[in-house]
A and B are shown apart, each in its own frame.
Chain A
Amino acid sequence: MSNQIRFPNKFIQEESPDEGVWVNLNNIKVDDWQKLAECDLKPHQRPSTIILSDFNFNIPDKARISHIFIEHNFKKESSKTPIKMEPPVFKINSNMEKPSSVEAGIYPIERTVFFINDEIDLTVEDINKDDFSISVKFPQNSTDNEGRLFLDFIRVKIEYEIPHYVLSSGETSKYYPTKNNPLKKAVGDEFKYSVYFRNVTGVTEDKQKVEINVPDGLEVVNYYYKHGKVNTLYDIEDSDVEDEFDTENMVWYPSVRGKGISRLRIVFKCLTEGHKILNSYNEHAGNSPNFHVDVFPSDFESCESKFEQTTNKWASELEEDEDYQFLNKDVVINVEDVSMEFEVPQEKVDNIKEYFIKWAKRELKPKTHFDALKGVTFKINKGERVGIIGFNGAGKSTLLKLLSGVYSPTKGSIEVNGKIAPLLELGAGFDHNYSGRENVFLNGAILGYSKEFLESKYDEIVEFSELEDFMEIPIKNYSSGMTAKLGFSVATVVNPEILILDEILSVGDVKFQKKSGDKLKSMMGSGTTVLLVSHSTSKIRELCTRAIWLDKGKIVMDGDVDYVCDAYIEAAKQASADEIKNLELV
């Protein structure tokens, strides 16, 4: 959101014999309460209408105007017999008018009249033109007194958005293949190159063109899109545009039109040896960073790099993945008709005296019941990545706590097959008098790891936490960021079959956040089943292939992540402010 503020340079008053004449009208282009325009009024006389123009706005051509604010200030002379003056009416280009809010007082008060551009439909050209004008029409002095009206200033503020596109290809990953650290492949190997095209402001909905620059010796084997349609809570761009990819000329027309992101992933096969550089280009976003691949002779044994491990598979990709389809047959989590009921006492009786007195007097009130979950049934297959969404208080956390065994259901059954790692809380049971080293073992034990496992992984934990020099000092001397790092490192040292995550994707400083995000993504790779609760639907869209939407303890919808997220955001518009507090709906 940008804005420009201007004072007018040209002032005209429509003089007519029975209207009051303005003097020193030039002073309204100065915001100084001593330099004022004045107008002497007789009883029931109106001041003449002022027309202001020549604002010299210089708004970029591609911008979209969102609001027009007219800031102004006027007052009347202080006297025993004051005049009375209703607020003036402002008119833009003589087609839209709106009155100001407060009538003329004795003291100066700044007032603003604002127009929403959706209502008046001004283009950038209209505003930049010299004849863009504002007229100020005053009502008459409604008293039998004579007096003076002052006008301090009038200025116009235009708020607008300029189009902004970003083109990227995964360089947010710590392991992005750079010149010094390229992907290493052999002739005949395949690798994936992803392009993300993001329309940040959603100002224009023009079809965009992204050219993919591919060097010789690479062949397109396949390509996938990740659903680019994005609903935002307040601004829906509901278009049914499909992605187009011209493999002949390597040109991609992203489906995103309004605010949002489109993604393209191309699978290349290496045909010839040599150092290859890929990138992509869009006229507004410029070049994406270079993506380096070293192709070796066909006898070279390549292995999956960290970058490839930390790159998530998309739902469209998984549909064609045979390994995945094979894995997918095993049910690892089976939740059947699960209800969780909490008893909420109407009054808290936690001491015996009170309990017996109330019991004797038969005053014990029955507890009220609160159903956090009601008859929830679903199955999760091996390798699925499921996001759980819902408004605040929908029962998301209760569900995760049930799955991780903290709660046991009041009704129904939960069956979990496989090694489960609930990353719901970091550093549970840390003892503040213990050193970092001792806490690794204590926390690890609480998470159910064995001694042998912890001993073998100890160095890895310490290295990941970046706390080598602090392991022997008590953690009461740690900063909260250091404690979180240590907790994260212990919790994620396992290779679980089922990973349950609750909103802890970012820990510590920015550098560590990146590292921890990559770590989680690599844990999510290769056949791990993932359950994720997040306040951010964009995170769910990015990481999950399926979403379950809970509302008031019941499943509303269960299915493809984008489909469910879109419906959910639609519903969020009707939700109360409390329900969607802190939720990030994109």
Chain B
Amino acid sequence: MFKNNQHIQNFSKYSFLLRELIKRDISGKYKDSTLGMLWSFLNPLLSMIVLTMVFSLIFSGSIENFPVYLLSGKLLFDLYSNATTGAMNSIKDNSEIINKIYVPKYMFTVGIICSEFVNFLISLVVLIAVMIITGAPFYFSLIYSPIPIFFLLILTAGIGLILATATTFFTDIKYLYGVLIMLLSFMTPLFYPIEIIPQQYMIVFTLNPLYAAVSSFRDIVLGGTFPATGPLFYLIITSIISLIIGIFIFNKYQDQFVLNL
């Protein structure tokens, strides 16, 4: 299983490809638009403004600093949903290359996840700006923020690899996953307080690793504390398990990709 040397050598040979793919994916994301990369700021900003206008009326008062509450959840969720969706299509979208030339196939999946992560980092600027404007305090706990983000990325990579493999064999998953993402967005309290969920349904939320990531992040940004150990621990476990499964499945079936494209 661990022919490390060879794999690392191969990875370093193609590291330039990874950079080029990230560049291509980022520049391709907003291709043909006049504003281009600016949309990485505008997108979360505008949707935040809209959602704030709508939901601050509904949940008025029950959430302190609604814009930051919303953004801290939405940015993480968007990272997950964009990156996994991109990863899901990564093999099919690059079928032309895969069919013609030998390239380590995970490069395409990892590439799109990385480019979405870069996109996420850019949009973090919006979060910081909104925090300054709304006068939110900058807690010392912010130095912990890479922890939930890192494990969210691990989770994304794992799920992304599983989806990329499955979609190559069954195109339907693409459409099914769109619905699943919507369901997930409701199961992750992004724009409503978790308190409004009746106690008997809480179990559904605690099982959602995305909720664990979002709540850990919010603990850091809004609560100014180290994240609650329960959800964080759950996030770490699920992300590592999903990555192991993802690598295993992808590795097992990657030789057959080219036959199904």
Assembly CA distance A433 to B31 (angstroms) = 8
- Asked if A448 and B13 sit within 8 Å, CB to CB, the answer is yes
- Asked if A424 and B255 sit within 8 Å, CB to CB, the answer is no
- Asked if B101 and A425 sit within 8 Å, CB to CB, the answer is yes
- Asked if A441 and B20 sit within 8 Å, CB to CB, the answer is yes
Q: A407-B258, A429-B97, A451-B16 are in contact. Are A446 and B103 (CB under 8 A)?
A: yes
Contacts of B16 in A (CB 8 A): 445, 449-451, 454
Q: Which of the candidate stretches A174-182, A260-268, A345-353, A519-527 sits at the interface with the other chain?
A: A345-353
Q: Does A428 contact B (CB under 8 A)?
A: yes
Q: Does B62 contact A (CB under 8 A)?
A: no
Contacts of A445 in B (CB 8 A): 14, 16-17, 19-21
Q: Does B201 contact A (CB under 8 A)?
A: no
Contacts of A506 in B (CB 8 A): none
Q: Does A481 contact B (CB under 8 A)?
A: no
**Of A343, A351, A446, A451, which one neighbours B97 at CB under 8 angstroms?**
A446
Q: A343-B259, A351-B171 are in contact. Are A442 and B24 (CB under 8 A)?
A: yes
Q: How far is the CB of A372 from chain B (nearest CB, A)?
A: 11
- Asked if B101 and A422 sit within 8 Å, CB to CB, the answer is yes
Q: Does B195 contact A (CB under 8 A)?
A: no
Contact flags (1/0) for A379-414 with B, using CB distance below 8 Å? 000000000000000000000000011111000000
Q: Does B173 contact A (CB under 8 A)?
A: yes
Contacts of A350 in B (CB 8 A): 169-172
Q: How far is the CB of A314 from chain B (nearest CB, A)?
A: 32
- Asked if A442 and B31 sit within 8 Å, CB to CB, the answer is no
- Asked if B102 and A404 sit within 8 Å, CB to CB, the answer is yes
Q: Does A211 contact B (CB under 8 A)?
A: no
Contacts of A448 in B (CB 8 A): 13-14, 17, 103
Assembly CA distance A174 to B169 (angstroms) = 50
Contact flags (1/0) for A332-351 with B, using CB distance below 8 Å? 00000000001100000011
Residues 430-458 of A contacting B (Cβ, < 8 Å): 431, 433-434, 441-442, 445-451, 454
- Asked if B24 and A425 sit within 8 Å, CB to CB, the answer is no
Q: How far is the CB of B200 from chain A (nearest CB, A)?
A: 32
Assembly CA distance A479 to B255 (angstroms) = 35
**For the complex, would chain A's binding face be called helix, strand, loop or mixed by DSSP majority?**
loop
- Asked if B28 and A431 sit within 8 Å, CB to CB, the answer is yes
Q: Does A33 contact B (CB under 8 A)?
A: no
Q: How far is the CB of B81 from chain A (nearest CB, A)?
A: 21
Greatest chain A CB density within 10 A among B17, B96, B255, B259 is at B17
- Asked if B171 and A406 sit within 8 Å, CB to CB, the answer is no
- Asked if B101 and A404 sit within 8 Å, CB to CB, the answer is yes
Q: Does A300 contact B (CB under 8 A)?
A: no
Contact flags (1/0) for B28-69 with A, using CB distance below 8 Å? 100110000000000000000000000000000000000000
Q: How far is the CB of A55 from chain B (nearest CB, A)?
A: 60
Greatest chain A CB density within 10 A among B19, B96, B103 is at B103
Q: How far is the CB of B225 from chain A (nearest CB, A)?
A: 43
- Asked if B172 and A446 sit within 8 Å, CB to CB, the answer is no
Contacts of A107 in B (CB 8 A): none
Q: Does A378 contact B (CB under 8 A)?
A: no
Q: How far is the CB of B239 from chain A (nearest CB, A)?
A: 26
Residues 205-261 of B contacting A (Cβ, < 8 Å): 255, 258-259
**Of A424, A433, A441, A450, which one neighbours B28 at CB under 8 angstroms?**
A433
Q: What's the count of A-B pairs with C-beta under 8 Å?
A: 74
Q: Does B3 contact A (CB under 8 A)?
A: no
**Of A352, A353, A429, A454, which one neighbours B96 at CB under 8 angstroms?**
A429
Q: A351-B172, A353-B172 are in contact. Are A406 and B100 (CB under 8 A)?
A: yes
Q: How far is the CB of A33 from chain B (nearest CB, A)?
A: 61
Q: A343-B259, A355-B170, A429-B94 are in contact. Are A406 and B20 (CB under 8 A)?
A: no
Q: A350-B171, A352-B170, A353-B172 are in contact. Are A446 and B258 (CB under 8 A)?
A: no
- Asked if B20 and A442 sit within 8 Å, CB to CB, the answer is yes
Assembly CA distance A434 to B21 (angstroms) = 12
- Asked if A428 and B96 sit within 8 Å, CB to CB, the answer is yes
Specify the chain A residue showing the minimal Cβ separation from B98.
Answer: A406
Q: Does B99 contact A (CB under 8 A)?
A: yes
Contacts of B102 in A (CB 8 A): 404-406, 422
- Asked if B24 and A342 sit within 8 Å, CB to CB, the answer is no
- Asked if A352 and B97 sit within 8 Å, CB to CB, the answer is no
Specify the chain A residue showing the minimal Cβ separation from B259.
Answer: A342
- Asked if A424 and B100 sit within 8 Å, CB to CB, the answer is yes
- Asked if A424 and B31 sit within 8 Å, CB to CB, the answer is no
Contact flags (1/0) for B65-108 with A, using CB distance below 8 Å? 00000000000000000000000000000101111111100000
Assembly CA distance A428 to B108 (angstroms) = 14
Assembly CA distance A489 to B99 (angstroms) = 21
Assembly CA distance A53 to B173 (angstroms) = 83
**Of B19, B31, B101, which one neighbours A428 at CB under 8 angstroms?**
B101
Contact flags (1/0) for A493-537 with B, using CB distance below 8 Å? 000000000000000000000000000000000000000000000
Q: How far is the CB of B94 from chain A (nearest CB, A)?
A: 7
- Asked if A428 and B28 sit within 8 Å, CB to CB, the answer is no
- Asked if B20 and A424 sit within 8 Å, CB to CB, the answer is no
Contacts of A429 in B (CB 8 A): 94, 96-97, 101
Please provide the 8 A-B residue pairs with the shortest distance between their CB atoms, ordered closest to farther.
A405-B102, A425-B100, A445-B17, A445-B20, A429-B97, A351-B172, A408-B255, A451-B16
- 30 A-B residue pairs with Cβ-Cβ distance under 8 Å, sorted by A, are A350-B169, A350-B171, A350-B172, A351-B170, A352-B172, A352-B173, A352-B176, A353-B172, A404-B101, A404-B102, A406-B100, A407-B255, A408-B255, A422-B102, A425-B100, A428-B97, A428-B101, A429-B96, A431-B24, A433-B31, A434-B24, A441-B20, A445-B16, A445-B17, A445-B19, A445-B20, A445-B21, A446-B97, A448-B103, A450-B13
Q: Which residues of B contact A (CB under 8 A)?
A: 13-14, 16-17, 19-21, 24, 27-28, 31-32, 94, 96-103, 169-173, 176, 255, 258-259
17 more A-B residue pairs beyond the given contacts A350-B170, A407-B255, A446-B17, with a C-beta to C-beta distance below 8 A: A350-B171, A352-B172, A352-B173, A353-B172, A424-B100, A425-B100, A431-B28, A433-B27, A434-B27, A442-B24, A446-B20, A448-B13, A448-B103, A450-B13, A451-B16, A451-B19, A454-B16
Q: Which residues of A contact B (CB under 8 A)?
A: 342-343, 350-353, 355, 404-408, 422, 424-425, 428-429, 431, 433-434, 441-442, 445-451, 454
